[in-house]
Chains A and B, each alone.
Chain A
């Protein structure tokens, strides 16, 4: 083990890096040559300082642990510009999603809304509950008032099978 990041004293975790590569269903991440096209067009760069090319480099070096516990991976807006524009198909968006998945596996800090969405899906099939909405003249309407069809959720077998799917790594 020779490499240590002198700013953070972080050490590479090659096992975690391999896990990310498996999650990517391909090894294109290794082809990143730091052209920064992803970062120069990143929607989240200006406001939240997300720099996808740095994430690519850190994962390539095996410095995964700090990334997986960092808030920065949750700032991606999923606009997919980086996937579209990457000349090496190294796809920062997919790397970020793989890092998020790893964070969940490690039971580290995840924005509450994501876990809430999963439990709502388990409960009802949908990630949100039907809202009553107000018209511009402040009349409250529901799906029923608007003569929209009733929402029918998934059958009884769904919950158990979806739980099984969630256990897959």
Chain B
């Protein structure tokens, strides 16, 4: 399969481990990725400032995807996935917004195509490639690993928009982890938010949200936390130490992107998966895997 890929700001400017592992893993599963010709913002921070301009940016991403000639677009960031999906929905339902947006796009010689399908890493792997195809490619099963999942908010809610998995009981990431031979653990705080959106205005509250969730996960005695959103990666991995001091706990939870974990099962080297960039103590999990 061929797909366009829109990375969004946070992956391109800092969460390099996610980008590297997606670029490594998907071709191994016969997905050929084509970058959009321009890197732009999906419109997320603009939503708070001017909703129309935010939807314009979302539609502009879809127009750039249309320019690649491909009908499928991977958006590995939860927040971008939501913002672009909402822009698409609004353009489908609101005639006035649609004609204004299409007019502005024309000024840039861009054409909106409502038929571009939007995928996230999780549903692309689970629904499009399929669990069986992934299973066939596994070289190194990840046995004896107990892992907790964090889906992130914006690929699950709200379901009238058409989201990646069930809003209250998501299973796809769990199944994707189980297919690698590892065990996924359910826990009460599974749907809790990482707090990222508060980083810019209420940093202590943001860290407290991330820290409380990590504290609950640590009590499960798991080998690691699996994520698939760069915002959540920023909070749980890069900001794990800061969160620990805000909630007054000693936290040492290895945090990995699902694509990094999958890469390990496909026997891709750690450096290629960007595993040296994770700030959380992933070495303890990596040692267990390489034995």
Interface, chain A (partner B; CB < 8 A):
23, 25, 43-44, 47-48, 74-81, 83-84, 97-98, 100-101, 104, 110-115, 117-118, 121, 125-131, 133, 135-137, 139, 141, 143, 146, 148-149, 151-155, 157-158, 160-162, 164-166, 168-169
Contact = CB atoms under 8 A, between A and B. Distances in A.
Interface string B59-88: 000000000000000000000001000000
Contacts of B50: 101, 104, 165-166, 168-169
Nearest to B280: A136
Which A-B residue pairs are the 10 nearest by beta carbons? A113-B200, A117-B45, A80-B157, A83-B158, A79-B193, A165-B56, A168-B52, A111-B201, A165-B53, A125-B40
Given A100-B49, A114-B48, A162-B56, A135 B41 contact: no
Contacts of A160: 107
Interface residues of B, number: 65
Contacts of A44: 198, 205
Contact of A97 (B19, B51, B90): B51
Interface of B: 9-10, 12-14, 16, 19-20, 23, 35, 37-41, 44-53, 56-57, 82, 90, 93-94, 97, 100, 104, 107-109, 153-154, 156-159, 167-168, 191-193, 195-198, 200-202, 205, 208-209, 274, 276-279, 282-283
15 contacts: A48-B202, A79-B197, A80-B153, A81-B153, A83-B157, A97-B51, A113-B45, A117-B45, A121-B45, A133-B14, A157-B108, A158-B40, A162-B56, A166-B53, A168-B52
A113 B202 CA distance: 11
Q: Is the interface of A mostly helix, strand, loop or mixed?
A: loop
